[in-house]
Structure 1
């Protein structure tokens, strides 16, 4: 079985998710660092998530959504997933 990574995301799902996170973060006037702190995720990792460079774990999606005062499904819907 081949491993799925950000480098093999032909449909740009990771990038679309990152755009959705960034858009909600900006609506709340949060800096990337502030969101990372709220979600207890390293700031550089959050940047990579927003740029679609990381295959985000489910638990991190939940933490990001909670920090953005939404449900994980809201972020996925915003991303068109």
Structure 2
């Protein structure tokens, strides 16, 4: 189960270039901007999905093999984990 860190806030907005998700460790950090599949991954993790569960969800949602989505999903997860935004 993935948990979002207690000091993290996020908002999903709609803009001229499509949906965006801003996440920030408050109050001291600048927000990160997520777009595209990164938004769907973030929302999956916010709902408590593990990394593996989120990869399966994205595979079904985007109708692509898990092998195609795994590398970028793992990279984003590890980046956000290292930044203190989430943990498994």
Higher helix share: 1
Higher strand share: 2
Higher relative contact order by CA 8 Å / sep ≥ 6: 1 or 2? 1
Computing the radius of gyration over CA atoms, which structure comes out larger, 1 or 2? Answer: 2
TM-score of Structure 1 vs Structure 2, range by shorter chain: 0.3 to 0.5
TM-score, normalized by length of structure 2?
A: 0.34
